[in-house]
Amino acid sequence: MKTFRVALLASVCFVGTAMAQEMKIDLGKLPPEVAAQLLKAEQDRKASEKEKGTVPLAVPTTVEQAAEYAKFGDQIAKGVAATAKGLSIEANEFVKTPVGWWTFIFIFWYFLGAKLWHIVGGILFWIASTAMIWKSLRTFHMPRKVLVSENGKEKKYEYQVFNFKSQDAKTASAVMHFITFAVATLVSLILVF
């Protein structure tokens, strides 16, 4: 499972430029029933885009939204199955091949690629901002071990805290750390959802 996650992450990183590309299929080389299924799936997708205005990419919060995501999954499965059928092999065997992986990734990217970048970007922003806030909080509000004296092999350490000029300054610093963390979390949530 870990290998699958690493492979999926690596493939998503490598196909970052695929967002602006289109997948072209020569329908003349496919059997007529497969070509008809592909055309119908594309027409259904375009009809749902026109009906909603845009493709819904938010995290499902209602039963209707969850049903729309199920519809996306069905469309992805139909696309992979139609491609596999056009190549005269079973879908499970097709997905195991390198070409099958790339086809699945491109179809998946076509339906959910933009939202994937929002999720990854939001998570990375939250991790980076939280790490900086944590470092600042440790510097100003948590005791740290400081070398006081060294006598040969014997070293003497003390725990010291940052010396604020007043208790008000210390309180203001703690409040600002909290507010900064809350804003970073809110921005990350907006990016993700």
Candidate from 58-62, 96-100, 186-190 with smallest mean pLDDT: 58-62
Average pLDDT of the chain to the nearest whole number: 77
3-state secondary structure 115-151: HHHHHHHHHHHHHHHHHHHHHHHHHHHCCEEEEEEEE
Mean pLDDT to the nearest integer, 88-113: 75
Domain boundary assignment for the chain: 2-113, 125-192
Position 120 pLDDT exceeds 50 = yes
Mean pLDDT to the nearest integer, 45-62: 63
Position 21 pLDDT exceeds 60 = no
Radius of gyration of the chain (CA): 26
pTM: 0.47
Position 10 pLDDT exceeds 60 = no
- Give yes or no for a contact between 174 and 101, defined as CB atoms under 8 angstroms apart: no
Q: 29 falls in which pLDDT band (50, 70, 90)?
A: low
Report the greatest alpha carbon distance in the chain: 87
Find, among 170, 168, 179, 95, the residue nearest to 140 by Cα: 170
The count of other CB atoms within 10 Å of the CB of residue 98 is: 7
High-pLDDT (> 70) share of the chain, %: 67
CA angle (171, 175, 178) in 5-degree steps = 145
The count of other CB atoms within 10 Å of the CB of residue 122 is: 17
Position 157 pLDDT exceeds 70 = yes
- Alpha carbon of 177 to those of 104, 159, 169: distances in Å? 44, 22, 12
Q: Which helix (H) or strand (E) holds 157?
A: strand 154-160
Mean pLDDT to the nearest integer, 136-155: 89
